[in-house]
Structure 1
Amino acid sequence: MLHIRDEGEEVEFQLPHIRLSARRWGSADKPLLLALHGWLDNANSFEPLAQFLPQYQILAIDWPGHGHSEHRPGLYPLHWIDYLYDLELLIDRLKQQETFAGIIGHSLGGIIAAAYTAAFPERVKKLVLLEAISPLFESASKNNVRLRNSFASHLRMVNKRVNSAAVYDSIELAVKARSRLTGLDEAWCRLLVDRNMQQVGSGVSWRSDPRLKLDSPLRLTFEQVDALMTDHSTETLIITAESGYEQISHLLPKAQLWFNHLSCIELAGDHHLHMGNAQQVANAILAFMSVGGK
């Protein structure tokens, strides 16, 4: 059977506090899966996966400060918990218009989705976490150093008073730079970089919010994460990669205690396995979504 590639469409959501851009694949009459990308990625990261999920409408947003979405106003430090508020308002909008089937979250997107569904399990029927389990945590003894480092980095940015993002002669140079830095295949880097860059004079530069690369002022402790995640009741599938982040695999025993309805699978690939191994990831998602109905 001939496979026809779905090019998708650009959509926007004007929320009360910020404008989010997104890409949508699949017709509007199909059940919707909301796709949440990782740190410094964007909606394009779900294009490979969407091609293998034609049974669903895939809506992949750009988080604030990523892709084509607005940046958060001002120059104050960014906090991960702000993404939960973005998600709450977006889901409230989607539930008014769509058959909302669940969430797919990769890395940062999975962290946000896991925390959100822990607090609001009635809002999301099914959750797929790709290389993610829970919010990050660290010892409370690191609070002072983290706060000092965060404020120092933000003050350096404010005092520069200019966007110091690198300017490249072409997107291809930026693609190679990201591939060298992350080890991600150039084809996937190109897909991500294309949406995260803008024209600057005769060159191109990152459109991403520069604050995304600065230290957060505060991180949760394990005790806080443990309290949040315990008795997590949303049906959840965790997909890890054979060559993914070790800390995620090490946390799986704790996930078995946290999640009341959990399935786990490991697939070939790296941290971005939903791009490099999209078909197997899609097959796992379809099997998970079919259990108990859609």
Structure 2
Amino acid sequence: MLNVNVEEIQLPLAHITLAAKRYGHADKPVILALHGWLDNADSFVPLAHAFAQQKLFDKFQLVCIDWPGHGLSDHRPGRYPLHWVDYIYDLQAVIHTLSQDTGPIILLGHSLGGIIASAYNACLAENIHKLILIEALAPLSESASKAKDRLRKGLLQQQRFNRQVTRDSSTYSSMDLAVQARHKLTGLAIPWCELITKRNMAITDGQYHWRSDPRLKLDSLNRFSFEQVDALMSTSNTSTLLMVGHDGYKHLTASTEQANKWFSNIEIIQLSGDHHLHMGNAYRVAESIGAFILNRQ
């Protein structure tokens, strides 16, 4: 059982209301956790347990948000295509709301959340005390020559989407079936699928259905070139911890040289685990985070 204060909270931003979970006490310095694509705040439950075991809540609070369209947060209005840059605006609003009482925060991001965190830090590092990236480094990039094809395919995909019902039509007679569907799609271990799926589901007339915004599954209309990413990321002196899984995304384990170019003050750790190593190897991840935030100046 988690021996720490935990509460569901709402963050009413100027443009949208986000759901979040707070672990610990609201007067402590904030570690703000940002989940990955199609996950939600409950992907950090195992890490919160590990934080409690290591008594990190004596000094910090952990705030885990649901991105727009995920978990219990509002969806963005309308049917317009979504873009990853929009999350940076969301993050700016969240940081402004949380930091008014506690000062600069520690930013922790997994996967998509880590991409958004690193891009935000590149622009507004003065708002970040320390940066923790789990299986993420920088915005994705592709050759500029693919820009036309990406935009064309994205617009046609959006056109087809707008002819259909905006809610995902998949329904399930039980939560177990929904969990199995998530497991089949992603290969994520069943216990972690259960955690994430339950917060991403709603029930209507006895049938379970995804509450996630179906637009999340549409391709982005635009992606940066490497030259744009390189210009954005160069160079941060924010104290940074990068954690990659031994069985995680291979391009990250091969990006050590690039990471050291973009971050002048970075520690890189490889741990046992896959892309969701903060769930499957939560204790070691929390142990590494604790050493980083408590001992490293």
TM-score band by shorter chain is over 0.9
Which one of 61, 64, 69 corresponds to residue 68 of structure 2? 64
Q: Does 4-13 or 191-200 show the bigger shift?
A: 4-13
TM-score by length of 2: 0.95
Q: Which moved more, 1:3-12 or 1:126-135?
A: 3-12
Alpha-carbon distance in 2 for matches of 1:8, 1:171:
24
Encode CA deviations 1:216-255: one digit per residue, 9 max, x unaligned: 0000000000001111121100000000011222222211
Which of 130, 136, 148 does residue 134 from structure 2 map onto? 130
| Counterpart for residue 178 of structure 1 | 182
Q: Distance in 2 between matches of 1:58 and 1:106?
A: 14
Stretches of structure 2 lacking an aligned partner (at least 5 in a row): none
User: Contact between 2:166 and 2:214, CA under 8 Å: does it hold in 1?
Assistant: no
Range with greater deviation from structure 2 (147-156 or 25-34): 25-34
3-state SS in 1 of match to 2:147: helix
The aligned amino acid for 1:249 is T
- Cα deviation code 1:14-60 (max 9, x no counterpart): 10000000011112232210000000000000111011223221100
Q: Secondary structure at the match of 1:102?
A: strand
2:163 is paired with a residue of what secondary structure? helix
SS at 1:84's partner residue?
A: helix
Q: 1:165 aligns with which of 166, 169, 182?
A: 169
SS of corresponding position for 1:263: strand
Between the aligned partners of 1:292 and 1:95, the Cα distance in structure 2 is 21
RMSD: 1.3
Could you say what secondary structure the match of 1:51 adopts?
A: helix
Asked if 1:280 corresponds to 2:284, the answer is yes
Residue deviations 1:88-109 (CA, integer Å, cap 9, x gap): 1111111112254401100000
- The sequence identity of aligned pairs, in percent, is 50
Other structure's SS at 1:69 match: coil
**Residue 213 of structure 1, aligned match among 212, 217, 224:** 217
Name segments (4+ residues, structure 1) moved above 6 Å: none
Tell me: CA distance 1:30–1:75, structure 2 relative to 1, closer, same or farther (3 Å): same
Would the aligned equivalents of 2:105 and 2:127 in 1 still touch at CA under 8 Å? Answer: no
Matches for 1:96-135 after TM superposition, within 5 Å: 96-135=100-139
Kindly indicate whether the alpha-carbon contact (under 8 Å) linking 1:106 and 1:131 is maintained by their aligned counterparts in 2.
yes
One-letter identity of the residue aligned with 1:27: H
Q: Deviations over 1:151-180 (max 9, x none)?
A: 111111111144233001111101111112
The worse-fitting range, judged by mean Cα deviation, of 189-198 and 159-168 is: 159-168
Whether 1:147 and 2:165 are equivalent positions in the alignment is no
Q: 1:165·1:210 contact (CA, 8 Å) conserved in 2? A: no
Among 27, 30, 50, which residue is 1:29 paired with? 27
Letter of the structure 2 residue corresponding to residue 24 of structure 1: R
CA distance in 2, matches of 1:113, 1:245: 18
Given that residues 118 and 234 in structure 1 are in contact (C-alpha distance below 8 angstroms), is that contact kept between their aligned partners in structure 2? no
Q: Matched residues in 2 for 1:252 and 1:280: separation?
A: 20
Which of 98-107 and 177-186 deviates more?
Answer: 98-107
TM, length-normalised to structure 1? 0.96
Which structure 1 segments of 5+ residues have no match?
none
